[in-house]
Structure formats: C-alpha cells, structure tokens
Amino acid sequence: MKMRIVQKFVRVTLLSVCMMWGVAACAVTVTVDVNDVRAEVPLTLYGTGMEDVNHEIYGGLDAQRLYDESFEEELPPQVIPHSPKGSGNKTCGRQWTDISTDGGILARDPSVAHWGKASQLLMPGAGTAGVANRGLNGWGVPCREGKKMVGHFYARGATGRLEVKLQRQDGRIAYATKTVALPDGEGWRKVDFTLTPDTTDPAARFLILASGGGKLWLDDVYLKDEPTNEFGRMGCREDIVEAFRKEGLTFLRWGGSMVNAPDYLLKNMQGERRPYDGFWFTKSSGGFMVREFVRMADLLKLPCAFSIHAYDSTEDAVALAEWLKRFDGFICVQIGNEECAGCTPAGGKPLMADIRRYCENLRRLVPAMRKANPKLVFANAVMWQVKHMDLMEETFRLTDGYVEYWDIHVGAFNVTAGNGTRHALQAFREMIMRINPKTTMKAAIFEENSYIHNMRRALAHASNLEAAREQGPFLLTSCPANALQAYAQNDNGWDQGQIFYTPDKVWLQPCGWAQQMASANHRDILVAGNTDDKDVTVSATRDREGKSVVLHLCNPSADEKAISFDFAGTTVLTLVKATSLSAPNLEARNPPDDPDRVSPRDATAAFRASPALRPYSYTVVEFRDNH
C-alpha cells in the first residue's frame, strides 16, 4: 500500500528535532525514507532453538521434577549382587541418596529392569531401605503449601510397607507422606500417588521408603506439579511455557546435536518415558521428545521445525509423517543436524562421499514423508560453509526440489554479528541463483550460536535481526540457541540460554528481552534507514497503512549518543513510545536474585525531553502519523 505523501516532502530535520526537544547539539542523525520499501518482514523471524544442552529439556522444560528416574546416570563402578548375602554396601545412581537404616540394603540389579539396563533393589530387612532424589544437580524439588504433586513409579516384588514422602533436605521434617500399595499381579506394576505438602520449600527432597522386610525393585520414578493447563498435562513445566509467551516467540525449533546421538531414532523416541544414551549427557530421558514438542507448538499456535536422525528408517519416518496429519499448522522437518560439519580433509576422509551419502538419504526420506503428508515442508541440514563451496554446490544440486529450506547457522559472538550473517546469506543466495535461477529453496536460521548470555549477546542478536529483516520472505526465521539453560549449568561451553531457570524460578536473560522487544514491535515493511555514526545502526520498519513507523536502534559503544531523526516521504510524525534495553557494560546479565537487572525500560519521557541512546543499548522507538 502506498504511503500517504503530502505535495512536498515534509522532513523532521536535525534542526527542527533539536529545537523541539531542546537538544543543543545532536551527534547522530538517523535518516529514514518511509516510501523506500526494501523488504517485507516475515512475522516468523522471532524464533528460538531448543535442544538438550545444559538441560534445556531433561531437567528443564520436561515437567519431571526428579532426575535420573531410571537409576541409569553415571552408575557406580561397583555393582553389588542383589542377594541379601551381598557385601552390605549400599549403592544407587549418582542422582539418588541412600537413606536406609538399621541394616537395610540397596543394590543395583542389572538383571531386572522395566526400562533401560537396571533397576534399584530395596531390601529393608529389619530396618528400612530407601532412596531420595533432590532433582537436577541436587538443587531440590520445589514444593508449595497446599499445591498437589502427582507421580508414579514401577515396582515388582513385595515389602511390608511402602511410603513416598516430601521432606526437608536433611530429612528431619516431613512435608507430606503417603503410604502406597502395590497393585495385585506379577512382574512390573505401575504405582500412582499424590502428595500435598503442608509447607513451601523451594529445595525439598523426594523419597521412597520400604520397611517390613521383603524385596522390592524400583524403576521409572516420576514426579511433577499437578497440572493446571494443557501444557502441564502434556508434560511441560508450565512456568517455562509462560516464559516462552513472555518472550514473544513466533517460531519454535527443536533439534540440534542431540539428534546426532546414536540412540536418537524415532523408534526409541516414542512411547513411555525411557532412558537413552544422550549426546551431551551420560543418560537422557525420552519423556519429552518430538511428539511432545509438536503438541506444545500446536497449543502455542506457533509454526515449528524439528530434526530427525538423518539415517532413520523410511518406515518410522513415514509413520511420524502420518501422525503429524492431525496438526494444521506449519511444520518443517529437518533431516539431521549439522551434517558433514567436518568439511576439512583429515586422514583422507572422503568429504564429497559424505555429502552424497547424506543427500542420497535425504532423497529417500523426504519423498516418502511428503507422500504420506503433503502438508509437511523440509529442510536440509548440511552445515553451510562458504570456504567449501564445491561441497555446498553439490549439496544444493542434490537437494534442490526436495527441500524448501537450507538451515544456515550463524554466529552471535560480537555486537556486529549481523555483518557476518549478511555475508553468509548473500553467499547462499548467490550460489543457488547461479546454479538454478528458478529455484524455490530459501534459508532458515535454526541456530544463532554464541558462548554468552550477557548484554553483548543481546546486541549481537539485535544486529542479526537487522540483517534478517533485509532478507524479506527469503528467510523463514532466526532462532537464537539455546532457548533454555539451568542456572550456573555450563557443561559444554554453550553458555547462551535466553531463559534461565532454577527448580522454582524462571527469568529472561538480555537476549530473551531483546527478542521480546523486537517481536512486540514487529512491523511488516522494512524501509530505508541509515545513520551518520560508525557505531549506531538502525533498522526502520512501518506498518502497511503507513500510520506507524518503528525504528530499531543499536548503540554498542560505551558512549551515550544524542540523536535526531530525519524522515522523508511522510507528514510530521509524533513520537509515541520509546523502550530501551541497556546495561552498564557488555558483560552484564541477570542473576536469580535480581532477574530484571538488565530488562527493557520505558524511555518515552526521556526521548521526548532529549533523545539519546544510552551506552550498550538496544532501543525501539515508535512514531505515529495521527493525520
């Protein structure tokens, strides 16, 4: 739609702004031409990428409040026979604590399991035998007075008395106790229970205690807050889902390196909870996987993409495609993750052969899945690397017409990250158009990676969004990785969560707030905008009617920058809102005891009085044409 233009352009000039707002000397001029349309900006740009790095899923989004429910993680080196005549030593998985008394014996039994490779044997004898779990990293299980918790475990054998409890971590005060009975029958039986604590404690412990003799085998122990909505019922931590809403996400991506784990096959990722050999952790849980992710995206009414193992079976992939028919929203299936990422000759590795093998497999899976479910779209997962253009060209030739998108991973390591992202996307576009000018393949940024979660990362993401808007519909989304991170958890260097959590708290880091600001101020049309300052950058957008103009301004420098605005192609605009995310330095982040330390602030009054960009800041300013 054309912008309404007066007979002669009326400009909000440097001089007029300075006079109106009392600025004595304006250092930076922001020039915008609202009639110079550069691109249409997709609403799907504001995504997030999640995988089980630093316990994003198992220990995080997964509603399970316990950790290592199948007694599998980092098993003790010494396996004790389950005969009562054993050594008498007590053993359990690393995440569990022995709380037996008076000769009660614990033993790991590798010969009996409900799922996985072992179970936990309790032999109370004349005393008690029990195990306690304090959740991920021993941080504790949060319980709230009067708020019910629900759970279950699988058991076989018999014992005189069996109890489940919530206690203070030292075990001296019980918050809730329930005696449970084993269902009749042989073999493994599921035992359901509820516990309603009479005290609020953010770091309680959960335990199972047997007494009165006998032998009892335990496996697959589960505990969660009683659900209050559909997200809780499907197995999500409800407070984390609310944080996704707060962030203003418009796209969800699931996958990443966990897809490369040898056990990450569709046949292993479906059905009941079960442990599997993870990519990042000794043991992960299959309780919250692809199916739960797609259901969560559907409930949030968000388009999504997820990865499957690149060498999965056609039969399992087709079965998944059939199951996905129940969803009406946009679903993109990525075949693998960062495939052929090495792309550096080492020991005579046949790199081109790797590329061709992957592409052959993609050409096997995609047509079969598309035939089963024509609504699906697909993405190639070969790691984009400009320095290996011969491999990239071969990948494109072999996948053109099979996939709609190529996943381009970009960096977010510095405040000018958008420059690198522009270069990568431009090189990709030029390559595919040179080989096939009629191609319909486009780009998607499913991972924007860094090692940080501070203000530097927020400005890097804002810079990447500037480059992303310039691509128009050619770019599906831009997803910072990683969506979630357990507080103080940095197992593998990817210290980049947008949302942090502890067992009882969830809060946004600066990058999450930058995403929220960008999403909340989305406008459909990118127009020409620039500044006369080497540090300050601008991304100028407007709505289709031309009534609202929004400027995204980055000042990554240590200096405050006074600014003025020079608009062409419109009547005089009125500043209606200014919001700024800033910090005292680029290393600033949000700790749990001060979760809003670096968060957006209303800067409207300050901008009306004397417009300026604070040091280390991302600022969004909205103007309106009220005529």
Helix axes 389-399, 351-372, angle to 10 degrees: 30
Q: Give the whole-angstrom CA distance, residue 411 versus residue 419.
A: 10
Residue 167, pLDDT above cutoff 60: yes
**Residues 450-495 pLDDT 10s:** 999 999 999 999 999 999 999 999 999 999 999 999 998 998 889 9
- How far apart CA 230 and CA 157 sit, in angstroms, is 35
Strand order in 601-602's β-sheet? 601-602, 574-582, 617-624, 548-555, 537-542, 525-531, 28-40, 561-568, 612-613
Pairwise pLDDT comparison (35 vs 274), residue with the higher score = 35
Higher pLDDT, 569 or 255: 255
Other C-beta atoms closer than 10 Å to the C-beta of 457 total 30
Q: What pLDDT shows up at residue 84?
A: 32
Q: Which fold has domain 14-41+524-624?
A: Immunoglobulin-like (2.60.40)
pTM of the model: 0.92
Instruction: Indicate if the pLDDT at residue 16 is higher than 90.
Output: no
Please report which confidence band the pLDDT of residue 93 belongs to, taking 50, 70 and 90 as the band edges.
low
> Which range has the worst mean pLDDT, 70-79, 216-225, 256-265, 313-322?
70-79
**Which residues have a Cβ under 8 Å from the Cβ of 92 and sit 6 or more positions away?**
71, 76, 98, 106, 108, 120, 131
Over 60: is that where the pLDDT of 75 sits? no
Q: Is the pLDDT of residue 257 over 90?
A: no
Instruction: Estimate to the nearest angstrom the gap between the alpha carbon of 440 and the chain centroid.
Output: 28
Does 11 have pLDDT greater than 90?
A: no
Asked if residues 369 and 404 have their Cβ atoms less than 8 Å apart, the reply is no
CA–CA separation, 550 and 623 (whole Å): 6
Q: Do the domains spanning 14-41+524-624 and 44-63+228-520 agree at the CATH topology level?
A: no
Distance CA 456, CA 437 (A): 38
Query: What are the tokens at 29?
Result: 């001029």
Per-domain boundaries in the chain: 14-41+524-624, 44-63+228-520, 96-225
The answer to whether residue 82 scores a pLDDT higher than 60 is no
Q: In CATH terms, is domain 96-225 a member of 3.30.40.230?
A: no
pLDDT score at 536? 98
Enter the DSSP assignment of 278.
-
Give the mean model confidence (pLDDT) for residues 289-296. Answer: 94
The residues, ordered by sequence, that sit 6+ positions from 392 with a Cβ below 8 Å of its Cβ are 382, 384, 385, 386, 428, 431
For residue 585, count other CB atoms closer than 10 A to its CB: 11
For the chain, give the percent of residues with pLDDT over 70.
91
For the segment 262-284, the average pLDDT, to the nearest whole number, is 81
CA 470/CA 468 separation, integer angstroms: 5
DSSP string, 65-109: -SS-TTS-TT--SSPPPSSTTS-------TTEEE--BTT-EEEEE
pLDDT of 300 higher than 80:
yes
pLDDT for 263 equals 85
Average pLDDT over residues 523-545: 97
Give the pLDDT of residue 626.
Answer: 79
207, pLDDT greater than 70: yes
Q: How confident is the model at residue 94 (pLDDT cuts 50, 70, 90)?
A: confident
User: Which phi and psi (to 5°) does residue 575 adopt?
Assistant: -70, 125
Residue 23 has pLDDT above 70, yes or no: no
Q: How far is CA 426 from the centre of its chain?
A: 27
Pick among 3.90.1150.10, 3.20.20.80, 3.40.50.1370, 3.30.1360.70: CATH of 44-63+228-520:
3.20.20.80
Higher pLDDT, 94 or 499: 499
Reported as half-sphere exposure (CB side, CA atoms, 13 A), residue 139 has a value of 18
DSSP states along 180-216: --PPSSSS-EEEEEEE--SS-EEEEEEEEEEEEEEEE
Residue pair 528/540 in contact (Cβ under 8 Å)? The answer is: yes
Residue 144 has pLDDT above 80, yes or no: yes
| pLDDT surpassing 70 at residue 86 | no
What confidence score (pLDDT) does residue 270 get? 74
pLDDT at residue 15, as a whole number: 38
Reply yes or no on whether the pLDDT at 309 is more than 70: yes
Residues 339 and 355: their CA atoms lie apart, in Å, by 8
Any idea which of 370-384, 435-449, 560-574, 578-592 has the lowest mean pLDDT?
Answer: 560-574
**pLDDT, position 260:** 86
Helix orientation angle between 455-470 and 510-520, rounded to the nearest 10 degrees: 30
Average pLDDT over residues 380-399: 95
pLDDT band for position 18 (cuts 50, 70, 90): very low
Eight-class DSSP state of 226 = P
**Band (345; pLDDT cuts 50, 70, 90):** low
Look at 570 and 183; give whichever has higher pLDDT. 183
Share of the chain above pLDDT 90, in %: 77
Predicted pLDDT of residue 102: 94
Are 54 and 489 spatial neighbours (Cβ–Cβ below 8 Å)? Answer: yes
